[in-house]
Amino acid sequence: MKVTIDGIEIDVPKGTTILQAARLIGPEVAPPAMCYYTKLKTSGGYCRTCIVKVSKGSTANPNPMPKPVASCRTEVMEGMEVQNFTSPEILEARKGVVEFLLINHPLDCPVCDQAGECKLQDLGYENGSANTRYEFKRREFETIDIGDKIKLHMTRCILCYRCVKVCDQITDNRVHGAIHRGDAAEISTYIDKAITNDFSGNVIDVCPVGALTDKTFRFKQRVWFTKPVDAHRKCTKCSGKTRVWLKGEDVLRVTARKDQWDEVQEFICNSCRYDHKKKSDWVIEGPSPIARQSVISQNHYEHLNDLKVEIMKQQKALGFMDLEKRP
Ligand code: SF4
Ligand code: FES
């Protein structure tokens, strides 16, 4: 099926959603997505950040769709034309969505462990407006302890339901979900049961904000002062392929590896995540690919070293004094 997104045409199989088609073209047209997650069935349709304008429904019915649609839940039709970043109305509408998502979200980024890898932070910078019109009290919740490994900050939750789907689809014995409805809805372990399933730690990786964070990493280090490397070990429960976050020789935390859309490549087990915090537990494969615009890449000087070596080579060739030996 041929679909055109922001003027770029692509041929995709029937059943592909607009969001998937846009991702196949690339980040220059792909809408942001806060609740859709490729590896979680029935995800998407909650947050509305992925809205696009369908300016032509299909070749058979060229009428535009009357209002913005959620691209993660709308399948492409033959001849469909879609506008995302090229539509000023969509950019304006998305600003409104971001404003809504931020209504109850506390601005505690300076003390939040998710800072530097928070999708809401990125969304706010890239698609939000600098001001809020909200003047009421933000939501507050009783603190719920969901075990010794995961910290729940309900005030930061944007109710994307990804963690609920992880527990539903990846772990046995689901014990957590969303209770209540509307602005009273909250993520809970229903009867305060701790999440102890083998794969429950994956809720940390799928949470786009700092609502679910790793208690074993809490307040240990800002993420941009750590060095992520891809590593593996022999594991009987999962593939054992992880991302290990180092500070010198210390393993500060272990997470799943993520792809360019910030989605987990393979879910990992709790044993890999929590029980192997020695560098010698892992076979290090090399530095993890981190997006250049991410704050995490800011403190990695490898590329500056390469640059220095190159400059020194050129200076030597030109007969300049060696930088290292300068008085
Ligand atoms: S806790 Fe995180 S993953 Fe779960 S619904 Fe809230 S924002 Fe989404
Ligand atoms: S990503 Fe489509 S509605 Fe959330």
pTM, full prediction: 0.86
The pLDDT mean for the chain works out to: 90
For 69-91, how does the pLDDT look when each residue is reduced to its tens digit (9 = 90+)?
A: 999 999 999 999 999 999 999 99
The rounded distance, in Å, linking the Cα atoms of 208 and 41 is 17
pLDDT digits (tens, 9 = 90+) for 31-42: 999 999 999 999
Q: Which residue has the higher pLDDT, 163 or 323?
A: 163
Whole-number Å distance, alpha carbon 51 to ligand 2 midpoint, is: 7
Helix (H) or strand (E) holding 230: strand 227-232
Q: Please, which pLDDT band fits residue 22 given cuts at 50, 70 and 90? A: very high
Annotated domain spans of the chain: 2-93, 104-214, 223-289, 290-327
pLDDT exceeds 90 at position 92: yes
Residue identifier of the C-alpha nearest atom 6 of ligand 1: 157
Task: Identify the pLDDT of residue 96.
Answer: 94
Give me the CATH topology for the region 2-93: Ubiquitin-like (UB roll) (3.10.20)
pLDDT band at 141 (very low <50, low <70, confident <90, very high): confident
Give the Cα separation of 126 and 57 in Å (integer). 28
| Helix axes of 119-127 and 88-103: crossing angle, nearest 10 degrees | 140
Q: Which residues of 175-194 are buried (b: 16+ CB within 10 A; e: fewer)?
A: bbeeeeeeeeebbbbeeeee
Q: Is residue 176 within 8 Å of 220, Cβ to Cβ?
A: no
C-alpha of residue 211 to centroid of ligand 1, in Å: 6
pLDDT at 325: 56
Ligand 2 atom nearest to 45, measured from its CA: 3
Predicted local distance difference test score (pLDDT) of residue 324: 53
Kindly report the number of other CB atoms within 10 A of residue 163's CB atom.
26
